[in-house]
């Protein structure tokens, strides 16, 4: 049996369908989804989960209508404005993964400011995946290793799993123990492809905006019932 997971990763899915069911614009679903983030962060603080990683915006999400993309960026900006001081107070350290340079400059600045302000915190490592794609992350790591090898700075035979991991966006962050996906879809959707190799998966039919503290605690209980063998016996 397992104990409380050290690292929980979440694919926050179903914002659009939640809004559609209520006759609301999709952005209303994303706005309600921001409240679910607050509930999960609090639940992590209360239960001792040390790492929380959220798939907030994928590389593929840029293909959505400009109105939705701009609205999501504004939500991110507002979230960082409103939550920065609270994160500092609560011992939360903010990280990001993904191609941050692709975000609007105001979001990049707010992220940098919040990361600097929370840099000495250790209670909860809170990572936002933004303009993130697992395949791109792996390709970027491979390119950086290949460049070093071609320049004679790295022996190709010395490329171990640890060396490879040190080139990923998640360097220094342990692999997720538990992946939660809302809205019932059974997919990884290009999220943390390397890191999820041995992660336990919990899928709930609930849409992300309705995912509450009880649902989070139920996912932790489900995780505790799993026997993790990492390919062994
Ligand atoms: C997936 O639902 C969700 C997203 C693409 C965005 C997630 C963003 C938030 C929860 C809020 C903004 C983030 C921060 C950090 C404040 P979907 O729209 O794909 O749902 P659907 O499959 O029902 O259409």
- Give per-residue pLDDT as tens, 10-57: 999 999 999 999 999 999 999 999 999 999 999 999 999 999 999 999
Closest ligand 1 atom to Cα of 55 = 7
Tokens found for residue 119: 């840099």
> CA 112 to CA 107: how far, in whole Å?
9
Q: CA–CA separation, 199 vs 222, rounded Å?
A: 13
> Of the residues 11, 22, 25, 33, which should be mutated to test ligand 1's pocket, given the most ligand atoms within 8 Å of the CB?
33
Q: How far is the CA of 56 from the centre of ligand 1 (A)?
A: 6
201 sits in the region (left: phi over 0; alpha: psi -120 to 50; else beta) called beta
Every domain of the chain and the residues it spans: 7-133+176-224
Nearest CA to ligand 1 atom 10: 33
User: Long-range contacts for 218-223 (Cβ within 8 Å, ≥24 apart)?
Assistant: 219/8, 219/178, 219/180, 220/4, 220/5, 220/8, 220/47, 220/49, 220/178, 223/2, 223/5, 223/177, 223/178
Q: Which residue among 14, 15, 181 has the greatest number of ligand 1 atoms within 8 angstroms of its CB, and so is best to mutate?
A: 15
Given phi > 0 = left and psi -120 to 50 = alpha, else beta, which region is 8? beta
What pLDDT shows up at residue 1? 65
Residue % of the chain over a pLDDT of 70: 100
pLDDT for position 137: 98
Catalytic residues: 13, 61
The domain defined by 7-133+176-224 folds into: Undecaprenyl pyrophosphate synthetase (3.40.1180)
Shortest-distance Cα residue to atom 7 of ligand 1:
56
| pLDDT (average), residues 149-160 | 98
The ligand 1 atom at the shortest distance from the C-alpha of residue 54 is 15
- For the chain, the average pLDDT equals 97
List all residues whose CB is within 6 A of at least one atom of ligand 1.
12-17, 30, 33-34, 37, 56, 61, 72, 75-76, 79, 128, 208
pLDDT digits 0-9 by tens, 72-114: 999 999 999 999 999 999 999 999 999 999 999 999 999 999 9
pTM of the model: 0.97
């Amino acid at each position: 049996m397992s104990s409380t997971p050290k690292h929980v990763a979440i694919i926050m899915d179903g914002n659009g369908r939640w809004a559609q069911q209520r006759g609301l614009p999709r952005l209303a679903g994303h706005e309600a989804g921001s409240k679910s983030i607050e509930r999960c962060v609090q639940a992590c603080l209360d239960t001792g989960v040390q790492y929380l990683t959220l798939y907030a915006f994928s590389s593929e999400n840029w293909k959505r209508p400009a109105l939705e993309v701009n609205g999501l960026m504004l939500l991110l900006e507002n979230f960082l404005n409103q939550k920065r001081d609270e994160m500092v107070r609560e011992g939360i350290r903010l990280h990001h993964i993904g191609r941050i340079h692709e975000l609007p400059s105001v979001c990049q600045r707010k992220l940098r400011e919040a990361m600097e302000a929370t840099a000495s915190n250790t209670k909860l490592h809170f990572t936002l995946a933004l303009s993130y794609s697992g395949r791109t992350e792996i390709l970027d790591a491979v390119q950086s290793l290949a460049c070093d090898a071609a320049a004679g700075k790295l022996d190709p035979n010395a490329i171990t799993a640890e060396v490879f991991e040190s080139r990923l966006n998640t360097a220094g962050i342990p692999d997720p123990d538990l992946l939660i996906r809302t809205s019932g879809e059974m997919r990884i959707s290009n999220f943390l492809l390397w890191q999820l190799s041995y992660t336990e998966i919990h899928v709930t039919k609930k849409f992300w905006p309705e995912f509450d503290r009880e649902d989070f605690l139920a996912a932790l209980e489900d995780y505790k019932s799993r026997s993790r063998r990492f390919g062994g016996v």
